[in-house]
């Protein structure tokens, strides 16, 4: 059957063959374009439970598809393809492949929480977006986002030492995101620091960089935090059916610090 409106069909669903013969009939070339079925043939019932197991996704099952979240959405105003209502539905019903089509925009949520305030069923769509973005990373559908990497660098340092040392955080973050240390703005900032900072403070900062001070009596809290984080991560891995921790995590500084 000729296709009058190819624009109505997703490009990946249009198939043509250079050489194809079916039951003796030549169906090669673009005169014999085929359309792949777009029929949904099953629900993945695990998907909703997986998202609900991640922080923020707990209330996803409450959604009744009113669209208040999408209406209120800051990002949707700029990009109509950013549609929290739609993704919540896909997750709830278990249309995983359909969800993955949008994997490169789901993380764009800016966490303004307008959706949280308008939602009549208290679904907390912002949390669901966060959980869904996290899910995409844990499942390996997307690399970790810069903000996720920053969160990791930051929290790992706090967990290990009980303190935060900005220079180290910055260096680790640049390392993990593959950015060079010699960035113009950074060089300029350090130059000015040297120019204006009191000598005593500079020495303190320098020492802190070298000896990595820790909060006194941190071993106890650290062990407790470590246990809790591992518990949570194990729970999430189990809920998502993942055997090992996510591959991109590399070795964990937390474990180093414990040695």
Partner 1 sequence: MNKPVLILGGGPAGLSAAHALASIGQKSVLVEKEDRLGGAPILSGYARLVPSREWAKDAIGGMVERVAGNGLVDVRTSMTVKEFSGEPGNFTARLADDSTLDIGTAVLCTGFTHFDPISKPEWGFGTFPDVVTTTQVEQMFSSGQGVRCPSDGRKPKRVAILLCVGSRDRQIGREWCSKVCCTVSCNIAMEIREELPDCHVYIYYMDIRTFGLYEDLYYWKSQEEFKVKYIKARIAEVTSDGEKLIVKGEDTLVKRPITIPFDLVVHAIGMDPNVDNMLLSSIFGVELQKHGHIARASTYSAMGATSRPGVFVAGAATGPETIDDSIAQGQGAAMAALAGAPAIKAAAE
CB of 114 to partner 1, least distance (A): 22
CB of 57 to partner 1, least distance (A): 13
* Residue 38 or 244 with smaller CB distance to partner 1: 38
Residue positions counted in the chain: 259
CB of 64 to partner 1, least distance (A): 7
* Residue 99 or 153 with smaller CB distance to partner 1: 99
CB of 85 to partner 1, least distance (A): 9
* Residue 98 or 137 with smaller CB distance to partner 1: 98
Reduce the DSSP state of residue 186 to 3 states and report it.
Answer: helix
* Residue 95 or 138 with smaller CB distance to partner 1: 95
Tell me if 152 sits within 8 A of 250, measured CB to CB.
no
Applying CB under 8 A, the residues found at the interface with partner 1 are 38-43, 45, 48, 61-62, 64-65, 86, 89-90, 92-93, 95, 98, 121
* Residue 96 or 226 with smaller CB distance to partner 1: 96
CB of 141 to partner 1, least distance (A): 19
What CA–CA distance (Å, rounded) separates 228 from 69? Answer: 32
* Residue 98 or 226 with smaller CB distance to partner 1: 98
Tell me if 44 sits within 8 A of 96, measured CB to CB.
yes
Tell me if 53 sits within 8 A of 61, measured CB to CB.
no
CB of 61 to partner 1, least distance (A): 5
CB of 38 to partner 1, least distance (A): 6
CA–CA distance from 228 to each of 68, 94, 216, 232, 240 (Å)?
A: 35, 30, 21, 6, 18
* Residue 56 or 157 with smaller CB distance to partner 1: 56
Angle, CA of 84, 87 and 93, to the nearest 5°: 140
What CA–CA distance (Å, rounded) separates 195 from 198? Answer: 9
Contacts of 168 (CB under 8 A, 6+ apart): 157, 209, 212
What CA–CA distance (Å, rounded) separates 50 from 241? Answer: 9
Q: Which residues of 129-145 are buried (b: 16+ CB within 10 A; e: fewer)?
A: bbbbbbbbbbbeebebb
């Amino acid at each position: 059957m000729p296709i009058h409106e190819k624009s109505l069909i997703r490009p990946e669903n249009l198939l043509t063959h250079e050489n194809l013969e079916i039951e003796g009939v030549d169906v090669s070339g673009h005169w014999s374009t085929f359309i792949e079925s777009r029929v949904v043939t099953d629900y993945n019932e695990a998907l909703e439970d997986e998202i609900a197991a991640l922080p923020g996704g707990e209330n996803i099952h409450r959604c009744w598809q009113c669209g208040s979240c999408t209406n209120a959405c800051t990002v949707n105003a700029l990009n109509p393809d950013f549609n929290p209502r739609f993704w919540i539905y896909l997750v709830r019903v278990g249309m995983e492949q359909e969800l993955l089509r949008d994997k490169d925009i789901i993380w764009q949520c800016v966490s303004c929480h307008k959706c949280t305030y308008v939602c009549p069923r208290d679904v907390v769509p912002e949390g669901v977006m966060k959980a869904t973005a996290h899910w995409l990373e844990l499942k390996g559908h997307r690399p970790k986002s810069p903000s996720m990497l920053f969160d990791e660098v930051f929290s790992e340092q706090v967990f290990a030492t009980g303190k935060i040392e900005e220079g180290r955080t910055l260096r680790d973050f640049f390392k993990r995101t593959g950015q060079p240390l010699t960035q113009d703005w950074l060089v300029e900032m350090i130059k000015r620091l040297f120019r204006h900072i009191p000598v005593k403070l500079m020495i303190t900062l320098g020492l802190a960089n070298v000896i990595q001070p820790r909060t006194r009596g941190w071993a106890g809290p650290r062990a407790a935090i470590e246990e809790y984080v591992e518990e949570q991560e194990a729970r999430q891995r189990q809920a998502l059916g993942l055997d090992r921790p996510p591959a991109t995590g590399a070795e964990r500084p937390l474990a180093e610090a414990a040695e």
